[in-house]
Amino acid sequence: MTAGVDAIDHTPHSRKDMNLLILGALGVVYGDIGTSPIYAFRQAMSIRPGASSHTSEILGLLSLIVWALTLTVAVKYVFFVTRADNNGEGGTLSLVALARKTFTKPPAWITALGVLGAALFFGDAIITPAISVLSAVEGLELVAPDLTRWVVPITLAIIVGVFFVQRFGTAKVSIVFGPITALWFIVLGVSGLVHIIGTPSVLLAINPLLGVQFLITHIGIAFVVVGAIFLAVTGAEALYVDLGHFGRKPIVIAWFGLVFPCLLLNYFGQGAYVLQVGVENVKSPFFEMQPEWALGPFVALATLATIIASQAVISGTFSLAQQAIALNMLPRMVVLHTSETQSGQVYMPQINSMLMVGVLVLVLAFRSSEALSNAYGIAVSGVMIVTLLLLLVVMWRNWKWHPLAVIAFGALFTVIDLGFFASNASKLFQGGWMPALVAAVVALIMATWISGRRRLADKTRRDEVPLQFLVDNLSKKKPTIVPGTAVFLTSDIEGAPTALLHSLKHYKVLHEQNVILTVNTSASPRVNDDEKVRIEAYNELFSRVIVTFGYMETPNIPKALALGRKLGWKFDIMSTSFFLSRRSLKAGNKQGLLRFWQDRLFTRLARNASDATEYFHIPTGRVVEIGTQVVL
């Protein structure tokens, strides 16, 4: 199946459109990583190695940050990972789809990696808004110490506002956020450059050997330091997940043209400021290095920037959840498209509400960005490892890299990613358990849904009559024929739909045209209209229609069936009835404890899934639902 051309990444853009996409990418894609300077260097410095030379310590820490940004973000993600797009779409599940395409029978471990990566990203999604906004609002403590007790309430109010505006869509939000983020990066760069000019020797930190030397000479705390350095690269995974919102080119131009240079300037500037005043006199270099007259406006701008940082991971979560639903890894949920021109921009009310509750609980539980920094990192570093493993499969099987090149690339980044993950895992009992717990719950839900759907399909298949057998019998002995078209939805292409069997049993009639409709999901994000519908005729009474949607498309069955007119099928929605089988699931009794709870979880998930009529955009007045009971 050839995928449709993605309107975002593969269509030529005018200079004006490209500038708007770059500006939008600044606001949505780089908001997260753009706020890391607020707390990353502060956390690394607070470890206070206590060596005799403060200069070598600061230069060593800066060198580690510079090369973490260069290797992990610039090289791994911007240069390589963003090239692994599935027709313009990014994220862990897009990598899964790419990897699975190369196998006749995809191994189960690829799907398992997809489940793990998606679950870990959800764990990260509740941490980023909390630590980003909280770290910025804490700047009020320097402006007005009397406001310290208001930091948490103000943070909570801002977070509620951030999630409230999600309904307006990424496109509208990025129009506002893009210019603010551009200003934020310019201010970061200028404020850092001012201090670099005063202490140019700080630029020696560009030498990677200084970072290596720091780790060797401070071997006792190197593990903890690496965990703090990792805070500088958080946001890289959101960069890849949001690929479908803007396309690769605007993301690459924004990174190398503004984001990367300004981040480096700011980190170097913080290091220069610490060298100027002495490490023992600095608590929060990011805010303290600003002139006193600019501190108030700077805190306000930082707060706006952290609001925008939350947007990156939230919009990425929507994209990831939509893909998981289309790939049958999660139950159906409401997916609302928020842009008429950019199909990758969606809003999911249920995900939005769950994320908001999780973020608010985290702020109330930890109450400071320093405490939250211990919880930050496990999920993100875990996703990075999953991305690397899937990327290696894509490099080998899709890009046809030489195995030695794949091994060399994998060896370098495995050392880096495993180092980050191990250092963050050491903080498991200091708060890291929180995102790990969220990821475990999401993984359990996804695994239960996948296995439950498989068992339900097997159970239904065993109980169904073969479709060909039923068609042959009905052609020999026809029941009463009534005018119109009946469409029976089924996921099994071999068995007769349960709704058809019950319709014959209770109504004892058959329509003039009976369509057995199966909806498939392609491994590509979108499918051309010319390839969406396939029609096969059994006889004058029965035909099969197979509709294929891309995993980033919203399934709209009436629109898809209307495409069948090009194939000679006279489709009229007003003379068509859609027959759906509504299953009432019951858990079986003869099973182990684990299976007992999994069946009950699957039953609850299925009961709370969005209605098929709503999900497939079928007019409710044309739907007939027939209930059946299935014992798992």
* pLDDT(364) > 50: yes
Greater confidence, 462 or 269?
A: 269
Distance CA 260, CA 189 (A): 10
Do 208 and 82 lie in one domain? The reply is: yes
Residue 88 or residue 501, greater confidence: 501
Residue 447's domain is classified under what CATH number?
1.20.1740.10
Residue tagged 């009559």 (tokens): 465
Residue that is written with structure tokens 């739907």 in the block: 623
- Residue 624 to residue 488: CA distance in whole angstroms: 10
Stretch 143-166: mean pLDDT: 85
Residues 439, 519, single domain; the answer is no
Looking at the fold, whether 568 and 438 belong to one and the same domain comes out as no
- Mean pLDDT for 602-616 is 82
Note whether 356 and 495 are same-domain residues: no
Which of 403, 426, 451 corresponds to the end of one domain?
451
Task: Tell me the residue range of the domain where 356 lies.
Answer: 15-451
- The label of the residue with tokens 């894609």 reads 29
pLDDT greater than 50 at residue 404: yes
pLDDT, residue 407, reads 96
Q: What percent of the chain has pLDDT over 90?
A: 24
Question: Residue 469: what pLDDT?
Answer: 85
Residue at 435 is within a domain: yes
Looking at residue 14, what is its pLDDT?
57
Residue 1 lies in a domain: no
CA distances from 247 to 15, 61, 253, 343, 468 (A): 15, 34, 11, 12, 46
Higher-scoring residue by pLDDT: 451, 16? 451
Q: Are residues 295 and 398 in the same domain?
A: yes
* Pair (161, 284) in one structural domain: yes
Final residue before a domain boundary, out of 451, 476, 495: 451
Q: For residue 98, give both structure tokens.
A: 């790419």
Residue 361 · residue 479 · CB < 8 Å: no
Residue 457, domain member (yes or no): no
Domain final position from 422, 451, 480: 451
Name the strand (E) or helix (H) holding 496: none
- Domain presence at residue 459: no
Same domain, 504 and 545: yes
Residues 408 and 534 in one domain: no
State the average pLDDT for the chain.
83
Report d(CA 118, CA 110) in Å as an integer.
12
Per-residue pLDDT at 595 exceeds 80 = no
Burial zone of 216 (CB within 10 Å; 0-12 exposed, 13-18 middle, 19+ buried): exposed
In DSSP terms, 576 is beta-bridged to: 485
Q: So what's the pLDDT on residue 334?
A: 80
Residue 63's pLDDT is: 95
Q: Are 322 and 348 in contact (CB under 8 A)?
A: yes
Flag whether pLDDT at 368 surpasses 80: yes
pLDDT in tens, 252-308: 999 999 999 999 999 999 999 999 888 777 888 988 898 888 888 888 888 888 887
- Are 317 and 171 in contact by the 8 Å Cβ rule? The answer is no
Highest mean pLDDT among 411-415, 587-591, 619-623: 411-415
Contact (CB, 8 A) for 547 and 557: yes
Arithmetic mean of pLDDT, 336-364: 79
434 and 496 part of one domain: no
Strands 542-549 and 346-347 turn out to be: unpaired
Beta bridge partners of 584: 629
Let me know if residue 6 belongs to a domain.
no
Q: Are 535 and 570 in contact (CB under 8 A)?
A: no
The band of 10, judged by pLDDT with boundaries at 50, 70 and 90, is very low
Considering the domain architecture, whether residues 433 and 488 belong to the same structural domain is answered as no
Do 478 and 593 lie in a common domain?
yes
Does 216 lie in the same domain as 339? yes
Rounded average pLDDT over 216-229: 86
State whether the Cα torsion 290-292-294-297 is positive or negative. positive
Helix/strand/coil for 510? strand
Specify the pLDDT at position 256: 94
Per-residue model confidence as pLDDT tens digits over 50-98: 544 578 888 999 999 999 999 999 999 999 999 988 877 788 888 888 8
| pLDDT over 70 (residue 114) | yes
Q: Is residue 189 part of a domain?
A: yes
Beta-bridge mates of residue 579:
488, 624
Q: Is residue 458 part of a domain?
A: no
- Sequence-separated (6 or more) residues with CB below 8 Å from residue 361: none
Q: Give the 3-state secondary structure of residue 548.
A: strand
Give counts: helices (H), strands (E), the chain.
27, 8
pLDDT computed for residue 194 by the predictor? 94
Task: State the Cα–Cα distance between residues 539 and 522, nearest whole angstrom.
Answer: 28
> What pLDDT, on a 0 to 100 scale, did the predictor assign at position 51?
47
Please state the domain count of the chain.
2
Parallel/antiparallel/unpaired status of strands 576-586 and 542-549: unpaired
Does residue 9 lie in a domain region?
A: no
| Tens digit of each residue's pLDDT (9 = 90 or more) over 294-327 | 888 888 888 888 887 777 678 778 878 888 888 8
**Cα 476 vs. chain centroid, distance in angstroms?**
53
